[in-house]
Structure formats: structure tokens, C-alpha cells
Amino acid sequence: REDLCGGVGQNPSCSVSKPGEKLQETFDLCKCKQRLLYQILTLIFSGEFISQCGNRYHVFDNRKKNDRTQVRELMKKIDNMMKENGGGCYTNDMLLQAEIDIKKDIKRIMEAGQDKIRRERDALERRSERDKKKIDKLTEKKRQLQKQQLEDELSTLKRSIKADIERISDLQQQLEKKREEIEKHQQEINKRQQEINKQINKIKESTQIGEDTTGVNK
């Protein structure tokens, strides 16, 4: 298994099984025994597993207990397999190398995971910073709007006060003009009254003189 022995564990591997006696009748009916055997073993085992063993497999027929050719064929396959791998089998050094490879894979996976977490964290920090700037901008905009609203209200109030002052000033001017007109009219009335009084006095004086003259003549 690659997950247990690492990548080096695939080369010196061979799948050995013992269903041969059950498959003998099928083999006798087929000329392509090796191909059929491979297909049947693919159904029995995972195709991936046999592929990882370099498509090497060997089947024992337990009914032929005295047939040593089965063992010799297995030993021959083992010898060929060892030659393909430099004449060695799965040693402690290979096990150590497999352990090193597994540790490297674990380290690589952990580093990849850490890189992913770091990228996600950086992305979250950037998004948080953008959101913070957006909030600050909206807060400032709100403050500016409130300030502008207050300024508009103050300006409206000032215009209203100015209009009231102008209205009051206009009313005062009208009142002053009215007062002057009343005073002028009063002066005219007084002047007319004085003239009337003078005429009355003249009439009285002339009447008195006439009466005095009449009494003297008597």
C-alpha cells in the first residue's frame, strides 16, 4: 500500500492469491488464460491495487499440492521483480526512505494547508480593511450630511430672522410716517381752529361796538 509504505513500496510488490482451484474450469475453456485471469483478479481486487503492483500477480491452485512448478513460478516472478528493482527487496532503508517520503508529503500537505489558511486570512483582513474604510467613509458622509443639514437649517433660520427684521423695520417706518401725518393734520386743525377763533373774536368785538354806539345815541 502506498499510504503505508510510501512510493518506494509499489515497485517490489506482487499480488498473491489462492482462488486458482475455483477458476480452473474457466481457464480450461479459454485460450487466453493470462488475460482472463487478470480480468477476474481485477474483479476480485481493486484494479488500482494490481496496477500499483506493476500488474504483477500469482495464483495458487491448492488442489495441486505436489506441483512445485507453482512455487518455482512464484520464485521466478520474485527474482524478476527484484532484478527490476536493483536486486533488492523492501529493506529497512527503503522503509526509512518511505517514512521520510511520507513525512515530506505530510509536511507538504501541512504547508499547503497553512498557505491556504494564510491566504484566506489575508483575504479576510483585506476585506475587513475595505469594509472598515467603507464604514468610515459612510460615517464621514453622514456627518457631512448632518453638518450640511444643520447649516441649511441655520441659513433658513437666519433668512427668516432677517425677513422678520426687515418687516419690523418697514412697519416702524410706516408707523413713523403715519405719526408724522397725524401731527401735520393736527397742526392744520389747530391752525384752522385759531383762525376760526380769531374770526369769532372779531365778530364779537364788532357786535359789542355796535351795541355801545346804540346806547350812547339814546
Judged on CB neighbours under 10 Å (0-12, 13-18, 19+), 191 is exposed
**Cα–Cα distance between 136 and 186 in angstroms, integer?**
74
Grid cell at residue 209: 361796538
Among the ranges given (5-19, 87-101, 132-146, 196-210), the one the predictor scored with the smallest mean pLDDT:
5-19
Judged on CB neighbours under 10 Å (0-12, 13-18, 19+), 49 is middle
What pLDDT, on a 0 to 100 scale, did the predictor assign at position 166? 92
What pLDDT, on a 0 to 100 scale, did the predictor assign at position 26? 46
Average pLDDT over residues 8-32: 47
Q: What is the pLDDT of residues 185-203, one digit of tens each?
A: 899 888 888 888 888 888 8
CA distances from 147 to 88, 137, 140, 154, 190 (A): 86, 15, 10, 10, 63
Top-confidence range, 60-64, 66-70, 137-141: 137-141
Q: What is the pLDDT of residues 84-93, one digit of tens each?
A: 766 655 566 6
pTM of the model: 0.33
What pLDDT, on a 0 to 100 scale, did the predictor assign at position 29? 43
Domain residue spans in the chain? 2-90
Which among 87, 92, 109, 96 is positioned nearest to 6, based on CA atoms?
A: 96
Grid cell at residue 139: 460615517
What pLDDT, on a 0 to 100 scale, did the predictor assign at position 207? 77
Kindly write down the DSSP assignment for every residue of 46-113, as one continuous string.
-HHHHHHTTT-EEE--TT-TT-THHHHHHHHHHHHHHHHTTT--S-HHHHHHHHHHHHHHHHHHHHHH
- Residue 82's contacts (CB-CB under 8 Å, 6 or more residues apart) are 12, 88, 89
